[in-house]
Chain A
Amino acid sequence: GVVPAAPPSSAPLPAPAPPASFSEILRLVRSGRDVPGLHRPNVTASLASPTPSRLARRPKPWEGARPAEPPQPGREPGGSGALGPAPLTPASP
């Protein structure tokens, strides 16, 4: 949920309460002021190789359940899609 932006009136705060609302953040950024509580890490790439995969790719629910061309009536035989030219990789038989 959204935290109320106004501090409780009974206790004086040493710093402004962190802003919570979208318009409050926008106002601070646009006026060039610091947003309290901002977290700015300095992350860089490790350029390491990925951990080797040990799992086989799982087929999607829509793969293998039907032939390459949808069998509904009204489709052109041979499965030419609306885009015409042959796909990037040869179509599987």
Chain B
Amino acid sequence: GRHGYAVEFSPYLPGRLACAAAQYYGIAGCGTLAVLEQNEAGICLFRSFDWNDGLFDVTWSENNEHVLVTSSGDGALQIWDTAKPTGPLQVCKEHTQEVYSVDWSQTRGEQLVVSGSWDQTAKLWDPTVGRSLCTFKGHEGIIYSTIWSPHIPGCFASASGDQTLRIWDVKTPGVKVVIPGHQAEILSCDWCKYDENLLVTGAVDCSLKGWDLRNVRQPVFNLVGHTYAVRRVKFSPFHATLLASCSYDFTVRFWDFSKPNPLLETVEHHTEFTCGLDLSLHNHGQVADCAWDELVKIYTPSCLAAPV
């Protein structure tokens, strides 16, 4: 069996989805990248690739519909081509521990990848070059998530076991902003697509907190409801105040932080830790998630079904 860690919709093809998975919960064994295709008949496996160690994250290229990047337990990144089934195009191994996060920049005019590792560093990569361009040090704990700003070129955020959210600019190796966001490990972060100063963090304290970079002394929102650690958070591609989160409490929850009762809906269709979550850029309201119960689900929750 394969334990799902991450899912991501293709930015090019509305029905295509990638899932990064690890055998045996990522503790031992190999990894699998599954490229799935959804159509009227259901979900089918378009292509599957194996890697020597567990895969923990996946990101699609923003300049080539065939290309994606995964990150693995052996400290490496793999670049894949869905039209070349024999194996990865390239392997970039520099991190000294598990790479839990990989993200391809979404701002125009640049093609950069950022990785975040248990070795407490983030690394910047040009996908056409085999070596990293820069290493970002500063975190005092495991990095769980590294996410590019969708608005500010060269800017990314990182979430860490050292309980901070940090903001980086690729022009300088030292951190720009340090936000002691929680009194617990921060497992995930994401940027608001409609406000370049707003981010969200999800932590082991079961909460999601919003952060305005112009005043980081206190959160702008605090969303409670999950009963175990928040594993991943994603802002909606379509609405400024909508977010989704998945958790070790097996649920996926949808929130609108502008409402007095922000929890819109709780979806409980997994029987294990729910780790992967993505919101479609093409199909309004469509969500994909994956969990350690070896299931990938694609659905449109009722709270996202009708345009606001």
A interface residues with partner B (beta carbon < 8 Å): 1-2, 20, 22, 25-26, 28-29, 35, 38-55, 57-58, 60-62, 66, 70, 72, 81-83, 85, 87-89, 92
CA distance A35 to B23 in the complex (A): 11
User: How far is the CB of A78 from the nearest CB of chain B, in Å?
Assistant: 13
**6 tightest Cβ-Cβ pairs between the two chains A and B:** A88-B154, A82-B213, A53-B64, A51-B83, A62-B193, A82-B214
Q: Do the beta carbons of B110 and A50 come within 8 Å of each other?
A: no
CA distance A49 to B84 in the complex (A): 10
Q: Do the beta carbons of B51 and A41 come within 8 Å of each other?
A: yes
User: How far is the CB of A42 from the nearest CB of chain B, in Å?
Assistant: 7
User: How far is the CB of A46 from the nearest CB of chain B, in Å?
Assistant: 5
Q: Do the beta carbons of B152 and A81 come within 8 Å of each other?
A: yes
Q: Do the beta carbons of A46 and B84 come within 8 Å of each other?
A: yes
A-B contact pairs, 16 of them (CB 8 A): A39-B29, A41-B51, A43-B52, A44-B87, A49-B89, A50-B64, A51-B64, A53-B64, A53-B65, A53-B66, A70-B195, A72-B195, A83-B167, A83-B213, A87-B152, A87-B153
Q: Do the beta carbons of A58 and B11 come within 8 Å of each other?
A: yes
Q: Which of B87, B90, B155 contacts A83 (CB 8 A)?
A: B155
Does B293 sit at the interface, judged by CB under 8 A?
yes
Q: Which of A25, A52, A81 contacts B28 (CB 8 A)?
A: A25
Q: Do the beta carbons of B89 and A50 come within 8 Å of each other?
A: yes
Q: Do the beta carbons of A57 and B63 come within 8 Å of each other?
A: yes
User: How far is the CB of B63 from the nearest CB of chain A, in Å?
Assistant: 7
Q: Do the beta carbons of A87 and B293 come within 8 Å of each other?
A: no
CA distance A89 to B89 in the complex (A): 29
Which of B131-139, B169-177, B200-208 touches A? Answer: B169-177
Which B residues lie within 8 Å of A38 (CB)? 23-24, 28-30
Q: Mark B62-101, 1 if CB is under 8 A from A, else 0.
A: 1111110000000000110101101111110000000000
Which B residues lie within 8 Å of A62 (CB)? 150, 193-194, 237
Q: Do the beta carbons of B281 and A60 come within 8 Å of each other?
A: yes
Q: Do the beta carbons of B66 and A61 come within 8 Å of each other?
A: no
Which A residues lie within 8 Å of B212 (CB)? 82
Does B238 sit at the interface, judged by CB under 8 A?
yes
User: How far is the CB of A76 from the nearest CB of chain B, in Å?
Assistant: 9
